[in-house]
A and B are shown apart, each in its own frame.
Chain A
Amino acid sequence: MFEGFVDWFLRIFGSRRDIRLGIYGATNAGKTTLANKISMDFTGEPVGKVSQIPHETRVVQKKEKVEIKHNKKKILINLLDMPGLATKIDYKEFYKYGIRGKAAKKRAKEATDGVIEAIRWLSNVDTVLAVMDSTQDPLNQINITLLGNLEARKIPVIIVANKVDKKRAKPDAIREAFPQYPVVGISALKGKNLNGLYDAIAKYARRAK
């Protein structure tokens, strides 16, 4: 009852903040594609640039006051598209994408800073969409460490099994690997099952305690 009163009071006086929805995951899982899709659906504007080159997102990209309206429910979120998490960043990996020399080293340095920034933001997100590439093995250490951290911090998490439009996609492997979490299979690129994701956001997203 008291909590209800506090909610009402804060809502009236406008200091109750929006839900900070962090989009986390390994590199090239499709985080920015998803952030853009959500943002385009509800604001008509994208969040950031998408690329096949790893570490395209090297700073946290924000879209504030995104009102998700779904099945008569409205949730106001601040969308936070995080740089991809990684345990290694080799500047030589960018060579195959035509980025060489100083530009490759600069990109690698910015990418390491991006990973650090994404980790720091873990203390400031309310709910996380953990994006995983359905065509890849889900039992990698980035996914395991990320989910372990979110559990320790009691941050609600929805696993987004992305790229289900691909032939090699195995969203069920993600469900088997992490049975204790809600898993939604989508294709951010093709816009497949975004309504299922919005259902899950409406159900599980909440402010951190």
Chain B
Amino acid sequence: MKEKKFKMDFVSSETLNEKSQDKRIGFILSKVSDGSILVTDGVLKPEEEMELIKETMRKVDDGFPGIEVCSLKRQTKGVQLFMERVTDQTERFQTFIGNLRGKPAVKTSLRTGLTLIGPAKIIKKIKKNPNSFSVLTEV
């Protein structure tokens, strides 16, 4: 009987933070379309996650039906929330200036949390609760 396996890649948020949004999404999709389940200690911003969905749709073919993604964002409040908003605004401003100068590839930072992204071919179901999630796979 042939052994059935799947690969998991644990990637630090630093590794992803070093990349611009385009390269980050490209990196994630290349791992996932190769059959890996990727886990990182960070959470993509909602706009970035929507871009990830868009790029996934461009990549869907007979052998790659898409992805499953689930994230747990650390709840921020008070000073942390304020700092998160300041960072968001600064990054949006930098992206705007980058676009004006024809250099849109600005680096943005991931939010604190945990994300799992994997191929829909392997991940059959994700059950999420507010503070946890469980993943059912089928190889």
Contacts and interface: CB of A to CB of B under 8 A. Distances in A.
Nearest to A112: B57
Nearest to B49: A145
27 contacts: A86-B66, A87-B53, A87-B66, A87-B67, A87-B69, A87-B120, A88-B56, A88-B60, A88-B65, A89-B57, A90-B66, A90-B120, A91-B65, A115-B53, A115-B54, A116-B57, A119-B50, A137-B128, A139-B129, A141-B68, A141-B69, A141-B126, A145-B50, A145-B53, A148-B47, A149-B50, A152-B47
Contacts of B68: 87-88, 141
Contacts of B66: 86-90
Contacts of B57: 89, 112-113, 115-116
In the complex, which range does the number of interface residues on chain B fall in?
Answer: 20 to 34
Interface centre among A105, A112, A113, A151 (most CB of B within 10 A): A112
Given A91-B62, A148-B45, 9 more contacts: A86-B66, A87-B69, A88-B56, A88-B60, A112-B57, A115-B54, A144-B71, A148-B46, A149-B46
A171 to B, nearest CB: 18
A141 B71 contact: yes
B127 interface: yes
Interface residues of A, number: 28
Contacts of A164: none
Contact of A90 (B54, B65, B127): B65
Given A90-B66, A139-B128, A122 B50 contact: yes
Contacts, number: 77
Nearest to B69: A141
Interface string A101-122: 0000100100011011001001
Nearest to B130: A139
B128 A87 contact: no
Contacts of B49: 141, 145, 148
A136 B18 CA distance: 37
The B contact surface, by secondary structure, is: mixed
Contact of B46 (A87, A91, A140, A145): A145
Interface of A: 85-92, 105, 108, 112-113, 115-116, 119, 122, 137, 139-141, 144-145, 147-149, 151-152, 177
B128 A119 contact: no
B114 interface: no
A86 B88 CA distance: 26
Given A86-B66, A145-B46, A148-B49, A112 B60 contact: yes
A-B residue pairs, 8 tightest by C-beta: A148-B46, A88-B66, A88-B120, A90-B65, A112-B57, A139-B128, A149-B46, A145-B49
A69 to B, nearest CB: 34
A154 B14 CA distance: 29
A67 to B, nearest CB: 32
A88 B65 CA distance: 5
B58 interface: yes
Contacts of B47: 148-149, 152
A119 B54 contact: yes
Contacts of A105: 62
A152 B45 CA distance: 9
A178 to B, nearest CB: 11
